[in-house]
Amino acid sequence: MECCITCGRELVSDEIGLSKKLINRGATEFKCIACLSAYYQVSEQRLHELAAQYRAQGCTLFDE
For 18-34, the pLDDT digits (tens) are: 999 999 999 999 999 99
Instruction: Please say if the pLDDT value at position 64 is more than 60.
Output: no
Q: Which domain holds residue 39?
A: 13-58
* Domain assignment present for 2: no
* Domain assignment present for 19: yes
Nearest alpha carbon to residue 47 among 61, 33, 58? 33
* Domain assignment present for 32: yes
What is residue 1's predicted lDDT score, i.e. its pLDDT?
A: 86
- φ, ψ of residue 10 to 5 degrees: the values are -65, 140
* Domain assignment present for 8: no
* Domain assignment present for 34: yes
Average pLDDT over residues 3-21: 95
* Domain assignment present for 4: no
Domains in the chain, number: 1
What is residue 36's predicted lDDT score, i.e. its pLDDT?
A: 97
Q: Is the pTM value of this prediction over 0.85?
A: yes
